[in-house]
Structure 1
Amino acid sequence: MFKKNNLKKISLVIIACLAVITGYYWNCATVLRIYDYKTGRIYLEVPVKAGDKLFFGWVHSLEKIPWNEYYHISKDNSLVLETISFPAFGAGIPENKGKSCRIENGLIYMEEIEQVFPEFSWINSHFATRDIRLNGKLISRGSMLPEHTRLRLVIERRF
């Protein structure tokens, strides 16, 4: 049988372990990261949560028109493409993406797309990559990231 003194020591050890585990859990944040695809170097890391809105704006390489993508972050940390918008149709631009389409202020919006991406990658261009925004706040631009570098954007837990 354990003595009362030993029971107190065991209880203190268990409480201390629970405190460490709880502290560790609270410090593990979900973050949006932009990596160098080849080297794994992190260029950007910002905290995110499910439901946050991500905007990715770029210039279409062939048509030279602005292209806007609107995502939300799902509970499983994937990126869900909700809407795309652009000013005109052209090569490589879909004519029927999503469940609805509207025109507003000179832009065509294709909505309710609900396409899921575990992550996405692109070759960065200071010219082509415009704004990357989280909940309306600018977090990066193409000019802030390395030129002609394959990048990877992913939502993941930081440990």
Structure 2
Amino acid sequence: MKNSIRKKLLIIILLIAFILFFILVVPFRTALVFYIENTEKIQAFLPINEGDTFQIIWKHSIHLTDVVEKYKVTDDQKINQYEIVYEHFGIGMPSNAGEGETFVYEDGKYHIKGIDTVFPSMNIRNGKTVSEHRLVWGDKDEHMVWFNEYFEPGAWFTVKVDQLSLWQYLKGVKIHE
């Protein structure tokens, strides 16, 4: 009788350990994750899937006009920049398209299309002097949040597509409109 109780207790303990392991370690959701500087500490995340697109829009500190950087999540969970849109040439802005890219002027803005730059991660600083960074996502870019809702002006972070465990998902700050 005591062996039967011990076996049941051992099974229950192993089952609880397995469930805790699953919750804490096993990745279950892909997300665009914003890590504080060069750490593994998650500041915020946006649930995202392979093939999804997003934009980071920032205000150029000299021209005070928006610069739109467009990205797509690749099948191997990297970030592919495919377009940039801006209004003025000058410091930090490209003056022409590179090889395989197209430079066009549409609706009063310069577009460099066909960019194929792939990043395993990106280091981004939220604007300090002109703090008007935004994150845009959705099928028709219908969702937008201001970085200042989630990050301090001047803060920098590493952004990458990562798999989150249920524990990370539940304890993290989910970006939502």
Matches of 2:131 and 2:81 in 1, distance apart? 20
Matches of 2:133 and 2:153 in 1, distance apart? 13
Matching residue within 155, 159, 162 for 1:153: 159
Conserved? CA contact 1:60–1:128, under 8 Å: no
Matches of 1:128 and 1:121 in 2, distance apart? 16
Matches of 1:84 and 1:50 in 2, distance apart? 20
- Runs of 4+ deviating beyond 3 Å: 38-41
Can you list the C-alpha shifts for 1:108-127, whole angstroms capped at 9, x where unaligned? 11000111111111221263
In structure 1, the residue matched to 2:148 is 143
Matches of 1:72 and 1:65 in 2, distance apart? 23
Unaligned runs of 5+ in 2: 1-14, 166-177
Unaligned runs of 5+ in 1: 1-15
Using structure 1 for the length normalisation, give the TM-score.
0.75
Matches of 2:41 and 2:126 in 1, distance apart? 15
Alignment root-mean-square deviation, CA: 2.4
Can you list the C-alpha shifts for 1:10-62, whole angstroms capped at 9, x where unaligned? xxxxxx9xxx8xx88x9611111112115543222222111100100001233
Give the C-alpha shift of residue 158 in structure 1: 1.1
In structure 2, the residue matched to 1:12 is none
Instruction: Mark the CA change 1:155 to 1:27 in structure 2 (over 3 Å): closer, same or farther.
Output: closer
Number of matched pairs: 138
In structure 1, the residue matched to 2:63 is 63
1:29 match: secondary structure = strand
Matches of 2:122 and 2:39 in 1, distance apart? 16
In structure 2, the residue matched to 1:3 is none
Give the C-alpha shift of residue 142 in structure 1: 2.4
Matches of 1:56 and 1:32 in 2, distance apart? 12
In structure 2, the residue matched to 1:90 is 90
2:112 match: secondary structure = strand
With CA pairs under 8 Å and 6+ residues apart, which has the higher RCO, 1 or 2?
2
Conserved? CA contact 1:101–1:108, under 8 Å: yes
In structure 1, the residue matched to 2:122 is 120
Using structure 2 for the length normalisation, give the TM-score.
0.68
Conserved? CA contact 2:133–2:146, under 8 Å: yes
Matches of 1:83 and 1:153 in 2, distance apart? 18
Instruction: Mark the CA change 1:39 to 1:119 in structure 2 (over 3 Å): closer, same or farther.
Output: closer
